[in-house]
Amino acid sequence: MQVYTNPIHAEYFADPFVWRHDHEYYAIGTGPGDAEGLTPHTTRATIFPLLRSHDMIHWTPAGHALIAPDEALGLNFWAPEIAHAGGLWYLYYSVGHGDKLHQLRVAVSDHPLGPYRDRAQLTNPKDVPFAIDPHPFQDDDGRWYLFHARDFLDTGSDAAGSIRAGTALVVSELETMTRLSKNMHVVLRSYCDWQLYAADRPMYGKIFDWHTLEGPSVIKEGGRYYCIYSGGSWQTDTYGVDYTASDHVLGPYSIEAGVEAPRILKTVPGKVIGPGHCSIAIAPDDSTRMIIYHAWDPEMRARRMCMDELYFEDGIPKSDGPTWTPTELPRERPHTKDYEARV
C-alpha cells in the first residue's frame, strides 16, 4: 500500500480529468487563466495544464494541451476531458465569454499530451446558448456518447418535487468523434434545494432562482449506468457530488425524493470546501476505483486536485472522502458482498 494526502497536487487545478495509458497516468484540468478568462489579444500559445504520474500520488507538470483557437470563440476555457479512439486523442472542452455563449468543441492530437488542435464545433450558441462540461463515454458496444450540461428555463413538477430552472445534465450520441447527434436526452434536471446556484439571478432577461447540475462523469457497474455529477455553486460550501442511475445509457435516469445534501462528496467545514467536478480512474492495483475531484482549501485560495476511493454498497456509489489526512491507496475496508464481487 501507498499513502497519499489531499490535495495530491499543490497548484490550482480545477475540473481534473485523469486517465491511464500504457501504465502511466495523465491529468488535464482548468488552469486559473483558463477559468478566469484571457485578456483580449493576450499572447498565449496553449490552454489547459497537463500533469503525469506513475502512481496517481506524485504528479509532475507536463505542459499545456490545447493550441489556442481563434479568440473570437471566447476567452474562457473550461473543463477539458480526453478520449482515445482509432489511434487518435480527442480533447472535449467548452469555450465562451464568461457565463454566456459557451459552446462545446473538440480538438485532436496523435499523442495524449498533445498538442491538440481545434477540429470541430459540437454545439452552436445560436441553438444552445450555454453548453459546458463535456464528458465522453464509451459503452460496451463501442458506441460513444457525450454527456454535458446546458441551460433550461422551464419549470414544473414530478413525483420527486419541483423541477427548477437552471443548468442541467443531458446526453447525446457521438455520430463520429467530432460530430454530435442533435438527438438530445435529458439525464437530470435540478430538483433539490442544495443544488441552488444563486437566488434571484438575472438570466436571459428574467430573474430566476437558478439551480445548477454540472460536471457529469459516467461509469457502468452491475449492468447499470451511474452518472456522477456536481451540484450547487462551485464558489460556496454547498457544492458537492451526487449521482443518478439508469438501466440504459440514454436513460431514463432515477430521481429520488428527499435528497437534502450531496451523497458522495460534500464540504467538511474548516477542512475541505466545495469538493466537486470529478473524474474516475482505476488505481494501480487494477481494481480500486478512485474519484478525482477539485476542492477549495479552507481559506478558498485555490481549487486543487484531490482523490479518494469510490466504491459500491448494494448498488449505491459511495466515498469516504473528502479526506485531508494521510490515506492508504487502496484503503482497507470491510468487504461487502458487492465489493468482494468487484475485486
Q: Which of 279, 326, 320, 271 is nearest to 300 (CA)?
A: 271
Tell me how far apart the terminal alpha carbons of the chain are, to the nearest angstrom.
16
Number of domains in the chain: 1
Beta bridge partners of 272: 268
Residues of the chain with pLDDT under 70: 37-45, 158-161, 331-343
Question: What's residue 29's pLDDT?
Answer: 97
Half-sphere exposure at residue 247, Cβ-oriented, CA atoms within 13 angstroms:
0
In this predicted model, what pLDDT tens digit does every residue of 136-180 receive, in sequence order? 999 999 999 999 999 999 887 765 568 899 999 999 999 999 999
Angstrom distances, CA of residue 118 to CA of 68, 69, 144, 178, 272: 8, 6, 19, 10, 35
Residue-level pLDDT at 258? 80
- Provide the H-helix boundaries in 6-106: 32-36
Provide the pairing of β-strand 144-152 with 131-138. Answer: antiparallel
Q: How far apart are CA 267 and CA 240, in angstroms?
A: 7
Q: Which domain holds residue 229?
A: 2-342
| 149 within 8 A of 214, measured Cβ to Cβ | yes
Q: Summarize pLDDT for 53-86 with one digit per residue, the tens.
A: 999 999 999 999 999 999 899 989 999 999 999 9
Q: Are 29 and 18 in contact (CB under 8 A)?
A: no
Domain at 64, CATH number: 2.115.10.20
| Contacts of residue 171, Cβ cutoff 8 Å, sequence gap at least 6 | 145, 146, 147, 148, 184, 185, 187, 249, 250, 251
Q: In what helix (H) or strand (E) does residue 18 lie, and over which residues does it extend?
A: strand 14-21
Question: What is the per-residue pLDDT for 159?
Answer: 55
Report pLDDT for 156: 77
